Chain A
Amino acid sequence: MAYSDKVIDHYENPRNVGNLDKNAANVGTGMVGAPACGDVMRLQIQVNDEGIIEDARFKTYGCGSAIASSSLVTEWLKGKTLDQAGTIKNKDIAEELALPPVKVHCSVLAEDAIKAAISDYQGKHQPVDA
């Protein structure tokens, strides 16, 4: 299995591993994938009052490419608004990590994780009369 240097780097030195308090109002948690598929990603974002993602954490059960995809995403999310975060595409992740075709689904899952985290956060902040 030929891994790109970037995948190896993220695997050896994963960024932002850990947990945020999922019950906190300013935290959004996205959990995607399934153990049966061999890939589960949990991505958490901490959003400040200005709507900027000030912190992000991940934990992933999956292959090297899955770990790298989610680690990379936590780096990219910091400093972005929720709207900007929602525009991150799996294509960008796959390109940055030079993922081979058979591993592109790992980047898709990472994109799904971002959307799930955003959705969870927004769910906590719904206007009452929506």
Chain B
Amino acid sequence: MSQTNHLIYLDYAATTPVDKQVAQKMMQYLTVDGIFGNPASRSHGYGWQAEEAVETARQQIAELIHADPREIVFTSGATESDNLALKGVAHFYQSRGKHIITSKIEHKAILDTCRELEQEGFEITYLEPQPGTGMILPEQVKDALREDTILVSLMMVNNELGTITDVAAIGEITREAGVIFHVDGAQSVGKVKVNLEEMKIDLMSFSGHKVYGPKGIGALFVRRKPRIRLKAEQHGGGHERGMRSGTLATHQIVAMGEAFRIVSERFEQDHAHATKLRQKLWDGLQDIEEIYLNGDLEHSVPHIANISFNFVEGESLMMSLKDLAVSSGSACTSATLEPSYVLRAIGRSDELAHSSIRFSFGRYTTEEDIDTVIKQMHEAVDKLRALSPLWDMYQEGVDLDSVEWAEH
């Protein structure tokens, strides 16, 4: 792989670099001259110091989301948190019912876990997102609830589109119905305000590496009032109130705590920065014909802009964007040859799904970076449309939907 330092990173939704402050703090919890003890070692100072660091981090995380520190369970990441939430609730409460509600545009960590639960005999309803925007409306949840529903799981911010679902309103509905509500918050922290004191959310997954923390650490919020019970997925020592056994990774936890603390300091600043960048990008691309925003400018976080460039295929587009690190909903760029299931679910045709690019901004993205993006996008789209038979046909006024294609 050629050197990556000159690439402009615009894939913050995939992962973020660790903040230098966070990295420095982490280092203090590793080596023999640092705080390396096992937080579960009750009998000596090495353990107590580590435990103190863990509890401080727990407090930092709880503060940002307005929760009680005792409601935070540390895991290896949002994927594990999602698994624990879904399987933990399903297995504990299955005598009450076996129906679960989620949506078609959830992250694979939810969808694959749901498939697994279906194998075990659970019934899953996958709500359809609103066309174009990808929002899941509270009414949809209300209409899908049944006598035997035990769990609703929805993401607060969609990772491909950036769309925000009104989990506060949905929480009201589920609480009234006595149904447990889990929210995948991997993309929410630092982008929208999360207030678990007000929002009637029972379980929420969090990720370290989406907020300038390291990969391999996450958390699951498990509400105490009303008390949510889970059947543990991982056993061996009873850590985290029996919900997730395994020696706590002090350095990872401290890092996540520090990352969350920094988020609370910089929330407004980071938000304003991303808003400015996205507006600049969107404005700068307006003179390109036939572009479509996937998602909704109003009901979304400003850090993500998912745009389809009609008549141009995504992977070839990315080949042109030599100095940019972005991702695409195109089939060619996925492991299978299928276009993004999220874009398909919001009603985008296969062509538009194949032609999409997701730009996601972060703390270190500059306005000059956006200038470069705008310039390169224009050049790439022009070049590829000159090569595209579909663009020709569009210009000739041919209705592409009416063509009979010779598929292979």
Question: Is B311 positioned at the interface, with any CB of A under 8 Å from its CB?
Answer: yes
Given contacts A32-B408, A37-B407, contact A60 B387 (CB under 8 A): yes
- Measured as residues with beta carbon below 8 angstroms from the partner, the interface class of chain B is 20 to 34
Question: Is B332 positioned at the interface, with any CB of A under 8 Å from its CB?
Answer: yes
In the complex the two chains form, is B316's CB within 8 Å of A62's CB?
Answer: yes
- Chain B residues lying within 8 Å of A94, measured Cβ to Cβ, are none
In the complex the two chains form, is B406's CB within 8 Å of A33's CB?
Answer: yes
- Chain B residues lying within 8 Å of A66, measured Cβ to Cβ, are 313, 316
A-B contact count (CB 8 A): 92
Question: Is A109 positioned at the interface, with any CB of B under 8 Å from its CB?
Answer: yes
Of the candidates A17, A35, A62, which one forms a contact with B405 in the assembled complex, judged by CB atoms under 8 Å apart?
A: A35
Chain A at the B interface: mostly helix, strand, loop or mixed?
Answer: mixed
Given contacts A11-B316, A33-B408, A35-B400, contact A59 B388 (CB under 8 A): yes
In the complex the two chains form, is B406's CB within 8 Å of A60's CB?
Answer: no
Q: How far is the CB of A52 from chain B (nearest CB, A)?
A: 25
Given contacts A42-B389, A61-B312, contact A34 B407 (CB under 8 A): yes
Question: Is B333 positioned at the interface, with any CB of A under 8 Å from its CB?
Answer: yes
Given contacts A35-B351, A38-B339, A59-B388, contact A108 B405 (CB under 8 A): no
- Chain B residues lying within 8 Å of A79, measured Cβ to Cβ, are none
Given contacts A1-B333, A35-B354, A36-B349, contact A61 B408 (CB under 8 A): no
In the complex the two chains form, is B389's CB within 8 Å of A36's CB?
Answer: no
Give residues of chain B (387-404) contacting chain A, Cβ–Cβ below 8 Å. Answer: 387-392, 400
Give residues of chain A (18-43) contacting chain B, Cβ–Cβ below 8 Å. Answer: 19, 31-42
In the complex the two chains form, is A1's CB within 8 Å of B407's CB?
Answer: no
Given contacts A17-B387, A109-B408, A116-B406, contact A62 B350 (CB under 8 A): no
Of the candidates A11, A39, A61, which one forms a contact with B319 in the assembled complex, judged by CB atoms under 8 Å apart?
A: A11
Question: Is A3 positioned at the interface, with any CB of B under 8 Å from its CB?
Answer: yes
Given contacts A11-B319, A38-B330, A64-B315, contact A59 B407 (CB under 8 A): no
Complex: A88 Cα to B386 Cα, angstroms: 26
- Chain B residues lying within 8 Å of A40, measured Cβ to Cβ, are 389-390, 405
> Which among B339, B391, B408 has the highest number of chain A CB atoms within 10 Å?
B408
Sorted nearest first, the 9 A-B pairs with minimum C-beta distance are: A34-B405, A36-B350, A42-B389, A63-B315, A35-B351, A59-B389, A38-B354, A63-B332, A34-B407
